[in-house]
Structure formats: C-alpha cells, structure tokens
Amino acid sequence: MGCGKDGERAMLELENLNKTYPPTSGRAQGAVPEPALTDFSLSIKEGEFFTLLGPSGCGKTTTLQSIAGLEHPTRGRITMAGRTVFCSATNTIVPSNKRKLGMVFQSYAIWPHMTVFENVAFPLVHGHGGCPRSEVRQKVMGALERVGLHDFADRPAPYLSGGQQQRVALARSLVNEPSIMLLDEPLSNLDAKLRDAMRVELRDLVKSIGTTTIYVTHDQTEALSMSDRIALLNKGRLEQLGTPDQIYNTPRTTFAAEFVGSSNILKGQVVDVSGRRCTVQLAFGVVTCPVTGSVEKGQSVGVMVRPHGIAINPAEPDAANCFAGTIRQISFIGEFLDMQVAVGGEILRVFVNSYKTHRTGEDVTVQLPVDLCVVLQG
Ligand code: ATP
C-alpha cells in the first residue's frame, strides 16, 4: 500500500491521469478536443476530507467520475487502498460497483414515492451483492443513526427539509460501508442559508464517520471551510495542492491568487534576493517580500497582497513597504469598508474595519506588511 510523505496510509492514488473525450458532433470538423485532464496525480490519505476545487470545466467531475469508474481515463492508474482499480497499461478496469464507494451527487436523487427507510435500503435491496433481508434493517438503521435521522425512518421522503433530504442521500451512500465517499457539489441545490449551516454539519458528520471523502466544488468558501487539503485544478492540471491555509495565504500562481479570495496582484521585477527575503521593484516603489519558492534576481514576478492585509495609516509610517496614497472610492459593505486607494499609478483594493472613518480624496499612508506579501511564480 502506498504511503503519504508523513507515513500515513494513502487510501487513494491517482497517477498521471490523462483524459481526452472523443470529439463531439457539435465541434468544428477536424478540431482536436482539449484534454480534460493532463498528467494529474494525487495521493489522498485515509480519513482525509479532500476537495477538488476549480472553475467550471477544469476537470473536477472527470476526476471524480474516473475514481467512481463511471468514466475511464485515456491513460494513467488509480489505486484504492493498495488495489489497482484502473490501469491503462495493463487494461485493468474494476467495475464501479466493486470499488466500495459511496456517492452523493448534486441532484441527490431521493425517490419521492419512498420512505426514508426505503430510500436508504435501496442500494442494499437492489444493488449487486444481495444483502440478506435480516441485515437490511440493521444496516439502514445504523446509517440513519449516523446522520441523526433514525426517528424519521418511516416518513415519506418529500416530507423532509432540504437539509434532511441531503442527510438521507448521505445515509444511502454510507449504507454499504464505503471506503471512500465521493461528494459532487452536494450543497449546490440548497438555499444560501441552509448551505452555510450544512457546510459545518456535513463536514462534522463525515469527519465523525471517518470515511475518506473526496469533495468536488467550485465554491471557495466550501473548500476552505470544509477541507483538510485542497487540490486546485486549472484546465485539467493540478495548479496547487495544500491545506486551506496554504492555498489562501501562500498561493503559488496568479491563477491561484485570483481564484481563491480577493487579491491585489502587482507586477514587478526582483532586484535583490537575500536569505529568506527579496526586494521587488513595483511601479510605485520597492517592496520587501518573504521568499517562498525559487526567486531569482531579474525575474519578472507578481506580488500578491490581500485587501484586508493592507494597513492604512500604520503606527510606524517609516516602516518597510509604506507608500503615500489617496482614497479614490469607498463602498460600505457593513462588516468592512471596501476602498480603492491610488498609489503611484496603481489602484489597490483595501478592506478596513467599517468602524473607521475615511473619506474619498483623503491622503493616507498605505502599508503592505512584509509577511503578508506573496511572490507569485507565474
Ligand atoms: P463543472 O464545474 O462545470 O461541472 P468540471 O470542473 O467538473 O466542470 P468536467 O465536467 O470534468 O469539468 O469537464 C472537463 C472538460 O471536459 C470540459 O472542457 C468539458 O467540456 C469536457 N467534457 C466533460 N464531459 C465530457 C463529455 N462527456 N464529452 C466531451 N467533453 C466532455
């Protein structure tokens, strides 16, 4: 069985997955389809809540369906708990129903003419493998217990709230005791308030059950708040892999910085590198930044700083990375002021506490705190 770097067991390994769909009839004649996945590799640990994040069309669903066995990569290998379930080189394809997976999709497909119990029992009664009748009740009630719906077993499924229906879908995917759960945008059909509540509930539930979970979303808030680790995809390739903190606070590329959270990205050139610090010439002056990746003198880079990281009128205006600016625009958002501040020829977006009073046209000192500046690699 494969091991993660820190010695934890790898429950799922994707090795160099490539997928190109056959040309569709609607395409211009002779046009070669873009690959949906290119050399995509990942190792997911046992018990991990792992999210595939990225914009529409980046390959999240293709990855999930390849894991599920509902699509087959053009090339590559997929291993689950040490067992190869797909390998293009050896022509190995383990069918979907033999992969020990639980799945919850966007339209969580609860049968409206069945009770909660019947819905959850469905994969046991109608699935392959034939579960003895005597075990069905015990397994269904066990799954309902885990999602907190054991008192609702006899209720017709339509007489449930959206969140409860979501939990029925989860119980149904758990009833076969899967090794891996696949969740494809399971919250996207819920209204905004319920989605907020279910984020926490779903994560706590899945973590308490301890099943390795692969979650697909294009919603950065879901990804950041629920995941142990995130794989950010861009055009079928792995853009960045890391914890929510790493993805948000130290994005490696302009794509990552722009996709997750609000950001200011300032173009510049590295003028000096000294130990773990470097200086970058921007349009309006020189900034000092920490070095996180490989940075060379003369390199063209982007420097990212989050709008809420920028300080206005800091206590020490002579400290590093301080510049004179003028407030051009203020939007009152409630929890904060969203300001546009002109510094040299650039406009910086700055969020400040809304209890502070500022006015358009005000001259201010702007500080880009050294530790909050991130040099982007491309
Ligand atoms: P979304 O968030 O919109 O669901 P996604 O990140 O899940 O997007 P995929 O559905 O994996 O992306 O699609 C990746 C690429 O493969 C896209 O360019 C898409 O158009 C293409 N694609 C997906 N399914 C098929 C198919 N069955 N036939 C042809 N092309 C497909």
pLDDT digits (tens), the chain, 378 positions: 444 444 567 899 999 999 999 887 555 556 677 899 999 999 999 999 999 999 999 999 999 999 999 999 999 999 999 999 999 999 999 998 889 898 887 766 778 889 999 999 988 887 766 677 778 998 899 889 888 888 999 999 888 887 788 889 888 988 888 889 999 988 887 778 778 888 888 888 888 888 999 999 999 999 999 999 999 999 999 999 999 999 999 999 999 999 999 999 999 999 999 999 999 999 999 999 999 888 999 999 999 999 999 999 998 877 899 999 999 999 999 989 999 999 998 999 999 998 888 999 999 999 999 999 999 987
CA distance 342 to 208: 49
- Say yes or no: CB of residue 56 within 6 Å of ligand 1: yes
CA of 63 to the centre of ligand 1 (A): 10
| Alpha helix positions (H), the chain | 60-68, 116-126, 133-146, 162-174, 192-209, 220-226, 244-249, 254-259
Q: Which of 104, 77, 125, 82 is nearest to 178 (CA)?
A: 104
What single letter denotes the amino acid at residue 48?
A: E
CA distance 137 to 157: 17
- For residues 86 and 69, is the Cβ–Cβ distance under 8 A? yes
- Which residue has tokens 């400290």? 319
From the CA of 37, give the closest atom in ligand 1. Answer: 14
- Which residue has tokens 């819920």? 190
Longest dimension (CA), the chain: 77
Q: CB 216: neighbour CB atoms within 10 A?
A: 24
From the CA of 19, give the closest atom in ligand 1. Answer: 16
CA of 299 to the centre of ligand 1 (A): 35
Q: CB 6: neighbour CB atoms within 10 A?
A: 6
CA of 52 to the centre of ligand 1 (A): 14
The whole-number pLDDT of residue 177 equals 83
- For residues 329 and 361, is the Cβ–Cβ distance under 8 A? no
185: left (phi over 0), alpha (psi -120 to 50) or beta: left
Token digits for 212? 């390795």
- Say yes or no: CB of residue 61 within 6 Å of ligand 1: yes
CA of 54 to the centre of ligand 1 (A): 12
Q: Are strands 212-217 and 180-184 parallel, antiparallel or unpaired?
A: parallel
- Which residue has tokens 């948000």? 248
- For residues 286 and 279, is the Cβ–Cβ distance under 8 A? yes
Q: What are phi and psi of 282, to 5 degrees?
A: -100, 175
The whole-number pLDDT of residue 192 equals 81
Q: What are phi and psi of 166, to 5 degrees?
A: -60, -40
3-class SS of residue 22:
coil
The whole-number pLDDT of residue 339 equals 97
From the CA of 233, give the closest atom in ligand 1. Answer: 6
- Say yes or no: CB of residue 62 within 6 Å of ligand 1: yes
| Residue closest by Cα to atom 10 of ligand 1 | 61
CA distance 48 to 214: 8
CA of 59 to the centre of ligand 1 (A): 6
3-class SS of residue 341:
strand
Report the Cα 183 to chain-centroid distance in Å.
Answer: 12
CA of 69 to the centre of ligand 1 (A): 16
- For residues 257 and 265, is the Cβ–Cβ distance under 8 A? yes
Tell me the torsion sign for CA atoms 19, 23, 26, 31.
positive
CA dihedral 77, 82, 85, 86 (to 10 degrees): 10
The whole-number pLDDT of residue 100 equals 87
From the CA of 33, give the closest atom in ligand 1. Answer: 30
CA distance 326 to 347: 9
- For residues 378 and 267, is the Cβ–Cβ distance under 8 A? no
Q: CB 97: neighbour CB atoms within 10 A?
A: 13
Token digits for 198? 């279910």
The whole-number pLDDT of residue 30 equals 61
CA distance 166 to 78: 29
The whole-number pLDDT of residue 108 equals 63
The whole-number pLDDT of residue 47 equals 94
The whole-number pLDDT of residue 319 equals 83
